Amino acid sequence: MAQMFPDLTDLELKELEEKSSAEVDVYRAFRDQAPADWLVLHGLNLIARTRGSPPMDAEADFVVFDPKRGFVVIEVKGGTVSRDTRGRWTSQGRRGTYKIRDPIQQAIDNKYQVLENLKAAGPRWGAAGPPRLLMGHAVLFPDSLNTRTFVAPNRPQEIMGAGPDVKRLGAWVDGVFRYWATNDTSWKLLGTTGMNVVRSVFCAPVTVTAALSLAIAREQRRQVELTKRQALVLQNLRYRARAAIAGAAGTGKTLIALQHARMLAGQGRKTLLVCYTRALADFLKREAEGVANLQVMQFHQLCDWRVDHVKSTQGIDLLARAQESYPEADEYSVQKPYALALSADADPSLRYQAILVDEGQDFGDEHWMALELLLERQDDAQLYVFYDPNQAIYKLAKDLSNLGLGPPLLLTENCRNTLPIHDAAYRYYHGDDVAPPDLPGEPLIRLSSDGLDSQAKHIQSTVSGLLHQGGLKPDEIVVLVAGDRKDGHFRALHGRGDPAGARWSFERLWQPGCVLVDTARRFKGLEAAAVILWCADEVDVAIEQELLYVALARARNRLWVVGSSVRVAKVLDG
């Protein structure tokens, strides 16, 4: 059995059959028939870069690496494939007839892209550098009985496969290798070193170290292993100047944004990482502290800083100009963003080569206009927007299509919550499917009673128990109020006194020896090991679905829901 990457389960292959049953047949044939020392990559995503043309997305159906020889790129074309007298190719299948690229040319292009990627790993080959490798290309038509009609000078029979060849796939690929090795003795075998380079270039997992400042002590050094899709997103961002990255709560958007911002700054690019909420900005600043070329700010902090800078250096009050231009407009949604836009021309030296936006769903049109103007006017200026439409609790989100970001890259696995927390939060989620976490966890706990004083007593008692019997630290516990009328809840909890062994910290993050008490809106984008969600009676489950989705998903490991019995039941049961 060959080594397959990715190593797909039978269930995953069954889902893939909806897209291409021919590729699935070939995948199974490689897995079951090919030699054990072969490494077979399926659906290898590449970036095609040709002189004078912009980078283009490309995908090689299969790439076979043999340590005793080299590699072969194989394009698979299912259905009824035709080529007319003008050289135009079409494929007819379940979805009708549509144009396709010349599969031979596609295989050739991908072959050289694979080679370029291997050459780029120069130091990993050792002091001598990469050797001259045996490489080839071929095309396989699994739904055809033979390929006689396709044979031509640039399409010899030896590199054209049909349905019968799938049943003897190992032998057919062996023949393709022999064809490309004919009368050529100058190539060097891949060997162990080459196979290690191949794995490091195309198969290496991507990890993001998560600094869990709000997690329990034993998880502070934990690493978050990204899923295959998340790893692919992080790799693809290196080759896209603009991109939208969409993911639900817990899919790692903020971690990936932070990791990519560090990488860009490390390349010497002047980089801005900006978000909408102050609490998340404070967290990101802590994590990015000491990174050269990287500036982290909340959006309105950025506005204030640049307005103050221009005023102190040039004596120009940009906010006053914005207020003169839009006297009746809101200061935060219009006037400050407009002042920020003016700062781009007032001091061009403050422009950025790369801007990354977290919480992109909360930014309005005026925000985007200002951020676009802050980018240097160069072809390689970069803009990345991370967003979750279901978290648009500030109701400012607009269509992102006019930013030229292209179709969003999707993060599709929850890597934050336990399964019970995921199930509770995702009752309020509407969007692309998100795979639940493989963490059984503990059931949610309901603390139901009438009246704020009684509910505050439950919360104080629960927190005291977590600190003493549970062994948690104060900064691992957060009390969040879901609702806009926070003052009554804060007064009731303050009136009960501090929990045993700690103090309450109201809306002030990371205070030593304190348990944070805040609102779900302000805490958006952050997380804690243990969350006590205090549901205000005015929260309408039918209307505040985004708020409840955000609030419930803040908990990593344990979640308590507090409120009247009616309110708790509506939040958790609907």
At residue 130 the predicted structure's pLDDT band, cuts being 50, 70 and 90, is confident
- Pairwise CA distance, residues 225 & 415, whole Å: 8
Given a cut of 90, whether residue 406 has pLDDT beyond it is: no
Please state the rounded mean pLDDT for residues 429-433. Answer: 83
Domain boundary among 415, 432, 458: 415
Using one digit for the tens of pLDDT, what is the confidence trace for 38-84? 999 999 988 876 666 777 788 899 999 999 999 999 999 988 888 88
Given a cut of 80, whether residue 239 has pLDDT beyond it is: no
Indicate whether 425 belongs to any domain.
no
What is the structure's pLDDT at 86?
Answer: 85
66 by DSSP, 3-state: which? Answer: coil
| Best-predicted range by mean pLDDT (56-60, 151-155, 347-351, 477-481) | 477-481
Instruction: State whether the Cα torsion 32-35-39-42 is positive or negative.
Output: negative
What is the structure's pLDDT at 50?
Answer: 66
Give residue for tokens 């419930």. 552
Q: Are 261 and 396 in the same domain?
A: yes
Using one digit for the tens of pLDDT, what is the confidence trace for 16-36? 887 788 899 999 999 999 999
Please state the rounded mean pLDDT for residues 364-378. Answer: 89
Q: Are 508 and 468 in the same domain?
A: yes
- Pairwise CA distance, residues 190 & 133, whole Å: 7
Q: Are 64 and 184 in the same domain?
A: yes
Indicate whether 402 belongs to any domain.
yes
At residue 398 the predicted structure's pLDDT band, cuts being 50, 70 and 90, is low
H helix intervals, 451-517: 452-468, 486-496
- Pairwise CA distance, residues 518 & 266, whole Å: 35
- Pairwise CA distance, residues 42 & 57, whole Å: 16
Q: How big is the chain by its Cα radius of gyration, in Å?
A: 28
Bridge partners of 90, per DSSP, are: 82, 99
Given a cut of 90, whether residue 340 has pLDDT beyond it is: yes
Q: Are 50 and 159 in the same domain?
A: yes
- Pairwise CA distance, residues 574 & 569, whole Å: 7
Given a cut of 60, whether residue 142 has pLDDT beyond it is: yes
What is the structure's pLDDT at 209?
Answer: 41
Q: How many structural domains is the chain composed of? A: 3
What is the structure's pLDDT at 210?
Answer: 38
For strand 135-141 and strand 96-100, is the pairing parallel, antiparallel, or unpaired? unpaired
The region of weakest confidence among 15-29, 167-181, 233-247 is: 233-247
Q: Are 13 and 152 in the same domain?
A: yes
Q: Are 339 and 453 in the same domain?
A: no
Distances (CA, A) of 481 to 463, 490, 551: 15, 9, 9
At residue 222 the predicted structure's pLDDT band, cuts being 50, 70 and 90, is very low
Please state the rounded mean pLDDT for residues 223-244. Answer: 66
Using one digit for the tens of pLDDT, what is the confidence trace for 464-512? 988 888 888 899 999 999 988 899 999 999 999 999 889 999 999 989 9
The boundaries of the domain holding residue 220 are 207-415
The region of weakest confidence among 9-23, 192-206, 268-282 is: 9-23
Q: Are 512 and 488 in the same domain?
A: yes
Q: Are 398 and 487 in the same domain?
A: no
Indicate whether 153 belongs to any domain.
yes
What is the structure's pLDDT at 58?
Answer: 84
At residue 379 the predicted structure's pLDDT band, cuts being 50, 70 and 90, is confident
What is the structure's pLDDT at 349?
Answer: 87
Domain boundary among 159, 188, 203: 203
Q: Are 66 and 37 in the same domain?
A: yes
Find out whether 476 and 528 touch, Cβ atoms under 8 Å: yes
Indicate whether 439 belongs to any domain.
no
Residue 297 sits in a domain of what CATH number?
3.40.50.300
What is the structure's pLDDT at 395?
Answer: 47
Q: The whole model's pTM is what?
A: 0.60
What is the structure's pLDDT at 511?
Answer: 93
Given a cut of 90, whether residue 459 has pLDDT beyond it is: yes
At residue 431 the predicted structure's pLDDT band, cuts being 50, 70 and 90, is confident
Mean residue pLDDT across the chain: 87
At residue 190 the predicted structure's pLDDT band, cuts being 50, 70 and 90, is very high
Indicate whether 422 belongs to any domain.
no
Indicate whether 433 belongs to any domain.
no
Omega cis (within 30) before 6: yes
Indicate whether 300 belongs to any domain.
yes
- Pairwise CA distance, residues 311 & 256, whole Å: 35
100 by DSSP, 3-state: which? Answer: strand
Given a cut of 80, whether residue 287 has pLDDT beyond it is: yes
Domain boundary among 168, 187, 203: 203
Q: Are 273 and 175 in the same domain?
A: no
Q: Which of the two residues, 392 and 514, has the higher pLDDT score? A: 514
Q: Are 195 and 240 in the same domain?
A: no
Indicate whether 435 belongs to any domain.
no
Q: Are 212 and 140 in the same domain?
A: no
Given a cut of 70, whether residue 214 has pLDDT beyond it is: no
